[in-house]
Amino acid sequence: MASNRHLGRIIALQTLYEEAFRGECGDTTIVLDEVLNRNIGRYKAALDDKEFIRELVYGVSKEAKSLDERLQPIAPEWPLPQIARIDHMILRIAAYELMSGQAVPPKVVINEAVELAKAFGGDNSSKFVNGVLGTLLRDLQPDTKPKPKTTSKPKTKDK
């Protein structure tokens, strides 16, 4: 199942990347359903959970603006329109998974995003993606912030 989900994330990334690329090139004929169905069709023999892919693609596409609004303050020195499109799509997918309350553990989501960044992004993509998503996770789950270290006096024997 895990490798199937990994492949599912790759297909979702390919689909969302193509949608973004073609949209930015002025292609108004893009139909997300067609792109998604074509990409799923390429790997249909290896896929069990096509619904997972559809949920990712349609969820990220529908929530793109709110995902970007949540991500941008985390990396203010890197405006989202200026980062690599592939990194942007990876961040959106992972942010959607983290914020949608799916049953996937957050560490798995972040690890998968880092692996996608290593495979498809630039030299520093994985570090950038890891940093942004780590901060997002801490913002979403404030109780996971590291607790400040307290110094305690060593115990002394009573005389």
3-state secondary structure (DSSP) of residue 54: helix
Domain-embedded: residue 151: no
Alpha carbon distances (Å) from 136 to 20, 57, 73, 122, 142: 23, 20, 10, 21, 10
Q: Is residue 154 part of a domain?
A: no
Q: What is the CA radius of gyration of the chain?
A: 19
**pTM for the model:** 0.83
The CATH number linked to 126 is: 1.10.940.10
Task: Evaluate whether residue 102 is within a structural domain.
Answer: yes
Host domain of residue 56:
2-144
d(CA 140, CA 23): 31
Please report the pLDDT score of residue 30 as a whole number.
72
Which two tokens mark 45? 């023999």
The domain tally of the chain equals 1
- Kindly list the distances between the CA atom of residue 3 and the CA atoms of 7, 9, 35, 46, 97, in Å, as whole numbers in the listed order: 6, 10, 22, 10, 17
In angstroms, what CA-CA distances link 33 with 9, 19, 63, 91?
Answer: 16, 10, 16, 22
The verdict on residue 52 lying in a domain is: yes
Q: Torsion over CA of 10, 87, 84 and 72, rounded to 10 degrees?
A: 140
Q: Is residue 86 situated within a structural domain? A: yes
pLDDT tens for each residue of 67-105: 999 999 998 888 888 899 999 999 999 999 999 877 789
Query: Could you tell me if residue 159 is inside a domain?
Result: no
Quick one: average pLDDT of 106-120? 96
Q: Residues, the chain, total? A: 159
* pLDDT in the model for residue 150: 44
Residue 152 lies in a domain: no
Domain-located, residue 33: yes
